[in-house]
């Protein structure tokens, strides 16, 4: 089984809808991250959490919120989706070293 799982893997939603992306990890790491990837812009950090009680904004947090339900679970919400949030979203986990990424969620907002 994969160490980092993301659900759903693909989602199409309409403008204005609320949507939640979920991430679970079995690596036992305290640190978890959410990124988005757009063609030509690379990976950009949305939010990160260093433990269950710690939540921090990344470089592009506007329009997003997160919840750290447990050490192993970190969810990303789009409160009111807009078309420019169409992207590939990745969750990652780490100890103090390298980050390990999930398979991604492809989100399309129409």
Partner 1 sequence: EDQVTQSPEALRLQEGESSSLNCSYTVSGLRGLFWYRQDPGKGPEFLFTLYSAGEEKEKERLKATLTKKESFLHITAPKPEDSATYLCASKAAGNKLTFGGGTRVLVKP
CB of 51 to partner 1, least distance (A): 12
Residue 69 phi/psi, 5° resolution? -80, -25
Q: Does 64 bind partner 1 (CB under 8 A)?
A: no
For residue 96, count CB atoms less than 10 angstroms from its CB and return exposed for 0-12, middle for 13-18, buried for 19 or more: exposed
Q: Does 52 bind partner 1 (CB under 8 A)?
A: no
- For residues 51 and 32, give the distance between their C-alpha atoms in angstroms, rounded to a whole number: 8
Choice between 58 and 63, CB closer to partner 1: 58
Q: Does 40 bind partner 1 (CB under 8 A)?
A: yes
Q: Does 31 bind partner 1 (CB under 8 A)?
A: yes
Q: Applying CB under 8 A, which part among 17-25, 68-76, 79-87, 90-98 lies near partner 1?
A: 90-98
Q: Does 45 bind partner 1 (CB under 8 A)?
A: yes
- Other beta carbons within 10 Å of 47: 21
């Amino acid at each position: 089984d994969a160490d980092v799982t993301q659900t759903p893997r693909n989602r199409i939603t309409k403008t204005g809808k609320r949507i939640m992306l979920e991430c679970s990890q079995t690596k036992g790491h305290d640190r978890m991250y959410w990124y988005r990837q757009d063609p030509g812009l690379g990976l950009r950090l949305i939010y990160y959490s260093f433990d269950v009680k710690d939540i921090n904004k990344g470089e592009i947090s506007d329009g997003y919120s997160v919840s750290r339900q447990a050490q192993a679970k970190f969810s990303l919400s789009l409160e009111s989706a807009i078309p420019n949030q169409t992207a590939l979203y990745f969750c990652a986990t780490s100890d103090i070293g390298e980050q390990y990424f999930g398979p991604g969620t492809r989100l399309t907002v129409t």
